[in-house]
Amino acid sequence: MNASLSQKLAQAALDWIVPVWGAPARVNALSTTRSGGVSVGARTSLDIGAALPAHDVQHDAVLENRRRLAQFLPATPVWLSQVHGVDVVRIDGGNVSNLLASPPTADAAVTRVPGIVLGVRTADCLPVLFADRGGTVIGAAHAGWRGLAAGILEATLRAMDAPPNDVTAWLGPAIGPRKFEVGRDVFTAFCDNDADAACCFVPHRDGKWLADLHGLARRKLEHAGVTAIAGGGHCTMTESHRFFSFRGDKDTGRMATLAWLAPGA
């Protein structure tokens, strides 16, 4: 946990989340909430913006919100054009400028370069952060159910090129198991390849289940060899006063979950 960052947020009276996840001290991480911005209506107040700028209903507000976020970051985040897929982009000093100017189509990113800020945006989907215990590589993934079932977390681990048992992961705010109603397509997407994943589904009504997205992510990570997994305690839909929820209100904003490496050993 970065005490300095936590102190800055407290001084600014912001309830953003600084993950407590056992990552090395040089790994910084942050997850925003609804508070601290200028967006109005269903997007009140810190809407960080959609994957495509054309979808930002309150574009000027998004720009101001990102300016406010930037005060707590060492650099402009490399945003992704998220499409619920499994592509992962590796970001380094050679491509960062181009990726800042033209966000890559991907649902996860990794870097070994200090000062590069990885960022994913969510509003019910699951943001997942990764770091190796040596503090040499980090990752950030956007895991909706489609990407999660297809292997976005496993793809991120491969791109990090670190032993999974040497990686710690943090699960950010996402729709919780009391609100995530799904159909048979979601059930079979997970259970056809992992019958025991049925433990993450509770029969709800005819042809419907309540799914535990955090639990499914934990299974995926554990099966990949990750043993240090933290987070997972916030439901975006039941805590709508604090988080944006697409299922709760389709006209909604997005939170940001970010990670970066500080210079030094």
pLDDT of residue 53: 72
- Give strand pairing partners of 170: 129, 230
Q: What single letter denotes the amino acid at residue 106?
A: A
With a CB cutoff of 8 Å and minimum separation 6, the contacts of 162 are 132, 136, 137
Rounded to two decimals, the pTM is 0.97
Backbone angles phi, psi at 40, to 5 degrees: -125, 170
Quote the DSSP letter at residue 145. H
pLDDT of residue 84: 97
Alpha helix (H) residue ranges in 27-151: 59-70, 96-101, 145-150
Backbone angles phi, psi at 71, to 5 degrees: -65, -20
pLDDT of residue 1: 53
- Give strand pairing partners of 168: 131, 228
CB 89 within 8 A of CB 107: no
CATH dotted code for 3-261: 3.60.140.10
pLDDT of residue 243: 98
Q: Low-confidence residues of the chain, pLDDT below 50?
A: none
Which two three-digit tokens encode residue 241? 């006063």
Give the pLDDT confidence of 161-213 residue by residue, as tens digits: 999 999 999 999 999 999 999 999 999 999 999 999 999 999 999 999 999 99
Return d(Cα 121, Cα 127) in angstroms, integer.
8
Which two three-digit tokens encode residue 98? 């181009």
Count CA atoms within 13 Å of residue 60 on its CB side.
1
